Chains A and B, each alone.
Chain A
């Protein structure tokens, strides 16, 4: 039996990381002393600063090869990083689209010049990227996207609309998927990937106010936006392959297994004595703690298996599905049993690094929709893992 999570290396790595968080989290993090930011711009400035702190500590884009500024972290090290990050509820990783998606994509498909131009700026937080994938008529069914890139001189002109583009109003760059060839028999063909500056002429952003109070999602309108020849990532019409690389990263990196473990622990800790003495309540919380433990173990086992045997499956989908739905159950119970002033207050961010139950509740709805809805995850697992047939038209 091999269990890399218990090896000397993982222990040392975890110890180093835990110490680094203790030394580098902002003063007062996780306490009343660290107040919410005055507004969204202030928050983004703070989070860009945190990205820089990560970079200076050598913790930005840790999976990237050292030659591109990463530390070539193994899957195991990345998993330990996520565990420790979520254990302390570290500041949101605002550079995540760049570090987890665009970076690996450029490293795989980008030209030398594209790498030189973008990679370091992603790591330092100088460039924030947003993801221009989904459209009003192409959500879960991404291949149905309609934004068109028409050849124009050496480059293209792009028109169309993107939606659910997180933090587009604060982004410097967009990774854009657009159709370069009309839909044929294979809808996945004919899509290309581009790196587009957000200050391009003809590109406008309209933030959407969300039910959690922030304006993270945006609509992005593209009206004859000029795109230079060297903005193309990978080959023309082969953007789907590029996009799928990033999406598999997204599913892996956005595990919430350890976040849910933390939430379950916080629920137990927050239970008043009388609630903990109520057998019905106690049993339900304990069951969620048990499920959270099992979910964390499944994630660790997946990472260990890939580490030991080099198998890369799509089982990350199962973890995503399970942990986001478990999170909803944990917060649902919190709202049912914790004292009303704690859980039925205004839906707004609590002090940074602390848990606001009303906000967690609302964000729980997002978690089972973003990065592939639970329903789509179930289709993926059913078809790719269990080998069940795709459904017919009925």
Chain B
């Protein structure tokens, strides 16, 4: 499946990009990072809500994972805190769970923000016989800004908890990703609404989570490439713009090619999951492996091209690089996804080669 965006999708992207840029532009991103004001995005969230972004992805809205992902991609491009990313995962968990569609619709109608735990390990939190939770959930971005925390629990099942009863504490791992407020929460004795989750649905959510992360990384990678290209056109040394030097130009081209492949892989994986294509799982694994690599590499190139300026906090290059390192380890590492991909290889190899492997 090769995705070409519809005019409507393109228009929505432009609208959302404009809304984010107006409230969370480059200068504001750096200002917030300097103030240590992680997670402060109430004004952006309101603007996105006015456009209807939080409801995108639900069957009721006639949209799917690809449409939702394109929004997450814009959030990644704008280096937004984790609110939309967390909301998106919360939505996918509730859509996959049994009987949670109604509550999700009610939460959407009430304008509730969802947060989710990206530590996708149901064993970490158990449900006691009296319906309260036991355990600790981590890798939650912008939990404090959300109304409801959604997380996988033993069963597997999906639990929803109102955040006003929770005490979020910063996690050590995650602090590298300046601009997001990564926290953990103690859930012992906390009452929750719990919905069942079929094993098949759980496997699907894991793939969707990986692909959502890809969209976030893709947006960030696109932005740091754009920033680096612009800088290479403006910055002059030896009497010419540095982008004219092949050493700089070729570095940027290699990043461009990697980002373009990541875009193909990520969009394809989302569309394949939406349509139930046979290669959906395979493609999701490929997308995470390829996109993480493109993100890490492009963000590093972004710093390098900016030279000394790239090593200061005057520009956002380091923020993208930081995010690339954290995203790589969420929702399955590239190595884990490549390993999982091997299980699905027999299905695609016949499409790729009609020639027996020759050993002579």
Contacts and interface: CB of A to CB of B under 8 A. Distances in A.
A354 B286 contact: no
B9 to A, nearest CB: 7
Interface residues of A, number: 74
Interface string A245-273: 00000000000001001101111111000
A1 B9 contact: yes
A5 B272 CA distance: 12
A309 B275 CA distance: 23
Given A2-B6, A391-B245, A354 B356 contact: yes
Interface residues of B, number: 61
Nearest to B9: A1
B270 to A, nearest CB: 9
A324 to B, nearest CB: 12
A382 interface: yes
Contact of A382 (B5, B253, B335, B355): B253
Contacts of A390: 244
A98 to B, nearest CB: 26
Contacts of A354: 355-356, 358, 360
A392 B286 CA distance: 40
A240 B358 CA distance: 43
Contacts of B349: 265, 268-269
B229 to A, nearest CB: 5
Nearest to B265: A294
B355 A262 contact: yes
Nearest to A345: B360
Contacts of A297: 2, 261, 264-265, 268
B286 A387 contact: no
A301 interface: yes
Which of A5, A269, A282 has the most chain B CB atoms inside 10 A of its CB? A269
Contact of B249 (A261, A351, A391): A391
Given A5-B2, A290-B341, A394 B238 contact: yes
Contacts of B256: 318, 381, 385-386
Contacts of B275: 6
B352 A283 contact: no
B359 interface: yes
B283 interface: yes
Interface string B327-355: 00000000100110110010011011111
A321 interface: yes
Nearest to B275: A6
Given A298-B264, A389-B244, A351 B360 contact: yes
A1 B5 contact: yes
A300 interface: yes
Contacts of B233: 387-389
B260 A350 contact: no
Given A1-B6, A353-B355, A294 B262 contact: yes
Chain B interface mostly: helix
Contacts of A282: 339, 342
Which of B9, B240, B286 has the most chain A CB atoms inside 10 A of its CB? B286
Contacts of A1: 3-6, 9, 66, 271
Contacts of A258: 352
B240 A382 contact: no
B290 interface: yes
Contacts of B6: 1-2
B360 A350 contact: yes
B241 A293 contact: no
B257 interface: yes
Contacts of A49: none
Contacts of B338: 283, 286-287, 290
Contacts of B244: 388-392
B277 to A, nearest CB: 8
Interface in A279-294: 282-283, 286-287, 289-294
Contacts of A301: 2-4, 263-264, 267-268
Contact of B253 (A5, A32, A261, A386): A386
A389 B246 CA distance: 10
A97 to B, nearest CB: 25
Nearest to B254: A378
B347 to A, nearest CB: 12
Given A378-B250, A388-B243, A269 B3 contact: no
B252 interface: yes
A65 B257 CA distance: 33
Interface in B218-274: 229, 232-233, 238-241, 243-246, 249-250, 252-254, 256-257, 260-265, 267-268, 271
27 contacts: A1-B3, A1-B5, A2-B6, A3-B3, A30-B354, A30-B356, A265-B352, A267-B357, A268-B345, A283-B335, A283-B339, A293-B265, A293-B282, A298-B260, A301-B4, A301-B263, A321-B253, A322-B261, A338-B359, A339-B359, A342-B360, A378-B250, A386-B249, A386-B256, A388-B229, A388-B243, A389-B244
* Smallest CB-CB A-B distances: 10 pairs: A300-B2, A388-B243, A354-B358, A382-B249, A297-B264, A270-B357, A294-B261, A269-B357, A265-B353, A286-B338
Interface of A: 1-6, 21, 30-32, 87-89, 258, 261-262, 264-270, 282-283, 286-287, 289-295, 297-298, 300-301, 303-305, 307-309, 315, 318, 321-322, 338-339, 341-342, 345, 350-351, 353-356, 375, 378-379, 381-383, 385-392, 394
Given A269-B357, A298-B260, 15 more contacts: A5-B2, A30-B354, A269-B353, A289-B345, A290-B285, A293-B282, A301-B3, A301-B4, A338-B359, A356-B358, A382-B252, A386-B256, A388-B229, A388-B241, A389-B244
